[in-house]
Structure formats: structure tokens, C-alpha cells
Amino acid sequence: QIVMDFKHPNGSSVPVMVPRRSLLVMGGESRYLWTHGITPRKFDVIQVSEGQKVEAVSGNTEALTLSKRGTRTSFTFRKIRHSPCKCAFPSVCDSQQEKKGGSPPLVGDLGAASLEKEYVHKVYEDIAGHFSSTRHTPWPRVVDFLRSLPMGSLVADVGCGNGKYLGVNKDLYMIGCDRSKNLVDICGEKEYEACVCDALSVPFRPGSFDACISIAVIHHFATEERRLAAIQELTGLLRKGGQVLIYVWAMEQEYNKKKSKYLKESSNEPLPLSSGADVNQDFSSKLPVHTNRTAFDSQDLLVPWHLKPKCQSKKSEASTGEEQLVPSSVYHRYYHVFREGELEALCRKLQDVTVQHTYHDQGNWCIILEKL
Ligand SMILES: C[S@@+](CC[C@H](N)C(=O)[O-])C[C@H]1O[C@@H](n2cnc3c(N)ncnc32)[C@H](O)[C@@H]1O
């Protein structure tokens, strides 16, 4: 038996126990509105029950037990449609969505700013301690870039997080900045130079940096205009001949027949047993909630973060700065995952840079630009 997770676009999730040798027929809402998938993990939390039947796993912890996964063979049969669809679920129906070049903007600029505030900035602020504890290892090709720079180079890390890259090459003068105060404080504790600012308005002198990096940040902007503005802000920091390295999360998590580490590593984070996603109603109909460690099926999505209880910081309230024990919760971060060629096409809109190199690394699209 195995647990299959059904997700509603409003963020609610229902784990359903599927016994061996069973047949699941999906139609109507369960087929079109809900998404379903099997999260890679070693154990499932299942209902203690007498018979073997398909049923939703309840939230009653006393009636639950762990079941070790074995080998699974499953077959999926789908009816293929050869004409446009007129189903009753237009908000999730490709045929009934307006077709334009590229991905349609989700929200206007104001909507984008409040989406980012709610689903990026607030989230990083709240998860900073836990997030930082999971971010130790610098990605080797980012390190190679930083090590390739001449001694004494002035380098900005925009969206530096916990400062993972600020100390990898002691021969550089590196300064970081990030929207999250709690993450910038963590950089300060490590004695790195960093300040709080938005990547759309970086308070460093334009044209003065030998190099910049922005790793896994630009995908948090909710419109193409804002992603381009963030890249322009980065390139504006560079002197003539200066270089910037940008990483964004890729839609293609399997590339050259190799799965990214993200897909390969099965998650240690349990999914909530019942609907726990407190997703803002305005956007919930448009933004699917991603199932961690699975392939992306949408470019704009909310990615759950399961905050470990001991890492929940209540710093935003007047506090002693001590961590407090509060029940575990699920946060959702907004991402726009980039398709192959999308980052390059965006960068080519800028007149004052040339594209030096683009590549796929660790499930990201990456680009090195040089300032003309
Ligand atoms: C996935 S983390 C990457 C952190 C770091 N670059 C790394 O590689 O470990 C994304 C970071 O971008 C920051 N961020 C998101 N939106 C931002 C914005 N508008 N301005 C500045 N930083 C932002 C977040 O606070 C977070 O630290």
C-alpha cells in the first residue's frame, strides 16, 4: 500500500491510502481540479484499519501507523482529448486559458509586489533560522566562479541569504545584501558584511563592482518585468568588463537524462496530514502548490516549507530574541521556475551586457554576463 497526495488549488491536501492491487478511477473534480502524486519517501503514515480499502488518512494521530515502502508497480491510463476542452474547471484548464506568447502575467505590478511580500519576504523572515541550518554547502560551480576572480575584486552577493558564499574566497572583498533582516543578522554573526535591502533597489554605488552573484533569487519575482528589473539592478552595479553570475530554478529538473539532486533526494519533510496551507485566496486559484521533490508542472507555483518547531522564531514580536516552541507549520514560497532559454532571452533584452556562458547546474539555469 502507498499514500497518494491529492492537492486542491486552494492549498488543501488530502493523503489517500491506496492498497495493493487496487484500481483508482478519477473523474470530475478529482481528475481535473485536484492534482495527485506520490511523494518520494521511505515510509508512509497510514490509517490503522481492518480491511484494505482506499480511504483518506485521517488527522487522528492515535489511528495512524508507519508503513515501510517496498517496490511499487503502477500503471496509468488516460483518455486523450483531440479537441479543445470545455470542462467545468476553467481556472486550471489549458484550453480555456488565454493563449499568449510566453507565460501570461499572473498579476499586475502591485499584485506582484504584495504576492512577493506575503509569499517570499515574510516567509524567509520567519523561516530564517531553519532555512540557514539547511544551507551549508556552496554549489561548486558558484565557488569556481568566485575563485576565478582576481585577488582584491569587489564582489556583491545580491540575495545572499545566510552568507553561504561570502567567505568562500578570502582574496575577494565581498559584500552581501538580502531582503530578510533575520538572514542578514546571521551573516553578521559570521562577521560577514551584509545589509538589508530589496534586490530591485540595491544601495551600492552603480558601476563600482568587479563582479556580482545572485543565486536562487530572481525566481522569486512574480512578473517578467520585475525579473528583468532585478537583473538590470545587478548589471548596473558592475564596472565595464565586470561579470555577473545568476542562478534561477529550472522547470527542467531532469536534464541530459540526469535527475537533479532536488528530485533524487527524497524529502525528510513530512507532508501535512490534512489541509494546513494558509494560502491567500486572491492567488490561490492561480497558484498550484508544488509537491516537494517532484517534477514541476507549472512555472508559477507555491513551494511548501515545513518549518521545524524548534526553529520557529518569534522575532517579529517584541521578544527576548530567544527561540520559542510553537506548533510546526507549513509556509509557502512563491517561485517562477524558468524554462530552458528563458533566462538568456531575458538577459538579451539588456543593451549593456553580453552573454558569456549559459548552463544547467543543480537543477538551475545559470548565466554569466559581462558588462560592456
Ligand atoms: C533561495 S534563497 C538563496 C540564498 C542564497 N543566495 C543562497 O544561495 O544560499 C533566496 C534568497 O533571496 C532573498 N530574496 C528574495 N526576494 C528578495 C528581494 N526582493 N530582494 C532581496 N532579497 C530577496 C531571500 O530573502 C533569500 O535569502
- Please provide the DSSP assignment of 172-224 as one string: SEEEEEES-HHHHHHHHHTT--EEE-BTTB--S-TT-EEEEEEES-GGG-SSH
What residue owns the CA closest to ligand 1's atom 26? 161
Q: Is residue 154 part of a domain?
A: yes
Measure 6 CA to ligand 1 centroid, in angstroms.
Answer: 30
- For ligand 1, whether the C-beta of 159 sits within 6 Å is yes
Determine the pLDDT at residue 287. Answer: 85
Measure 183 CA to ligand 1 centroid, in angstroms.
Answer: 9
Instruction: Give the nearest ligand 1 atom to 157 CA.
Output: 6
Measure 335 CA to ligand 1 centroid, in angstroms.
Answer: 11
Q: Is residue 222 part of a domain?
A: yes
As a whole number, mean pLDDT of residues 113-117 equals 93
Determine the pLDDT at residue 266. Answer: 53
Q: Is residue 302 part of a domain?
A: no
Task: Spell out the SS3 assignment of 119-145.
Answer: HHHHHHHHHHHHHHHCCCCCCHHHHHH
C-alpha cell at 58: 485521517
Grouping H, G, I as helix, E, B as strand and the rest as coil, residue 243 is: strand
Question: 127-141, 161-175, 196-210, 269-283: lowest mean pLDDT where?
Answer: 269-283
C-alpha cell at 71: 517496490
Asked if residue 61 has pLDDT above 80, the reply is no
What are the Cα distances from residue 48, in Å, to 240, 329, 340?
A: 66, 25, 45
Asked if residue 313 has pLDDT above 60, the reply is no
What residue owns the CA closest to ligand 1's atom 1? 216
As a whole number, mean pLDDT of residues 27-46 equals 83
The top-scoring range by mean pLDDT among 42-56, 240-254, 266-280 is 240-254
Give how far the C-alpha of residue 44 lies from the chain's centroid of Cα atoms, to the nearest Å: 24
Question: 44-53, 93-102, 334-343: lowest mean pLDDT where?
Answer: 93-102
Asked if residue 11 has pLDDT above 50, the reply is yes
Q: List the one residue out of 182, 57, 70 whose CA is nearest residue 124.
A: 182
* CB distance 178 to 184 below 8 Å: yes
Measure 161 CA to ligand 1 centroid, in angstroms.
Answer: 5
Q: Is residue 186 part of a domain?
A: yes
Asked if residue 312 has pLDDT above 60, the reply is no
* CB distance 286 to 91 below 8 Å: yes
- For ligand 1, whether the C-beta of 213 sits within 6 Å is no
The Cβ of residue 189 has, within 10 Å, a number of other Cβ atoms equal to: 10
* CB distance 115 to 105 below 8 Å: no
Measure 104 CA to ligand 1 centroid, in angstroms.
Answer: 24
Q: Which domain holds residue 176?
A: 132-251+339-371
Grouping H, G, I as helix, E, B as strand and the rest as coil, residue 228 is: helix
Asked if residue 323 has pLDDT above 60, the reply is no
- For ligand 1, whether the C-beta of 248 sits within 6 Å is no
Mean pLDDT of the chain: 84
As a whole number, mean pLDDT of residues 307-330 equals 53
Measure 33 CA to ligand 1 centroid, in angstroms.
Answer: 32
Confidence grade of residue 308 (pLDDT, cut at 50, 70, 90): confident
What residue owns the CA closest to ligand 1's atom 10? 217
* CB distance 160 to 194 below 8 Å: yes
Q: Is residue 149 part of a domain?
A: yes
Measure 160 CA to ligand 1 centroid, in angstroms.
Answer: 6
Question: 96-110, 236-250, 355-369: lowest mean pLDDT where?
Answer: 96-110
- For ligand 1, whether the C-beta of 293 sits within 6 Å is no
Asked if residue 322 has pLDDT above 60, the reply is no
Measure 102 CA to ligand 1 centroid, in angstroms.
Answer: 25
Instruction: Give the nearest ligand 1 atom to 213 CA.
Output: 6
Looking up residue 174, the CATH number of its domain turns out to be 3.40.50.150
Confidence grade of residue 160 (pLDDT, cut at 50, 70, 90): very high
- Cα dihedral sign, 94-305-74-44: negative
Measure 59 CA to ligand 1 centroid, in angstroms.
Answer: 34
Question: 76-80, 154-158, 224-228, 275-279: lowest mean pLDDT where?
Answer: 275-279
How large a percentage of the chain has pLDDT more than 90?
A: 50
As a whole number, mean pLDDT of residues 253-263 equals 81
* CB distance 330 to 300 below 8 Å: no
Q: List the one residue out of 63, 59, 62, 75 whose CA is nearest residue 18.
A: 75
Give dist(CA 49, CA 79) in Å, integer: 33
Q: Is residue 178 part of a domain?
A: yes
Determine the pLDDT at residue 278. Answer: 39
- Ligand 1: which of 126, 132, 174, 179 to mutate, most ligand atoms within 8 Å of CB? 179
As a whole number, mean pLDDT of residues 89-118 equals 69
Give dist(CA 51, CA 343) in Å, integer: 52
As a whole number, mean pLDDT of residues 363-371 equals 97
* CB distance 307 to 269 below 8 Å: no
As a whole number, mean pLDDT of residues 87-98 equals 71
Determine the pLDDT at residue 101. Answer: 40
- For ligand 1, whether the C-beta of 212 sits within 6 Å is no
The structural domain count of the chain equals 1
Q: Is residue 196 part of a domain?
A: yes
3-state helix, strand, coil in the chain (%, to 5): 25, 25, 50
Instruction: Give the nearest ligand 1 atom to 131 CA.
Output: 2
Give dist(CA 307, CA 330) in Å, integer: 6
As a whole number, mean pLDDT of residues 34-42 equals 82
As a whole number, mean pLDDT of residues 113-138 equals 94
Question: 10-14, 225-229, 297-301: lowest mean pLDDT where?
Answer: 10-14
Q: Is residue 289 part of a domain?
A: no
Give dist(CA 364, CA 164) in Å, integer: 17
Strand order in the sheet with 209-215: 194-196, 173-178, 154-158, 209-215, 238-249, 364-371, 353-361
For 59, residues 6+ apart whose C-beta sits below 8 A from its C-beta are 273, 274
- For ligand 1, whether the C-beta of 335 sits within 6 Å is no
Complex ipTM, two decimals? Answer: 0.99
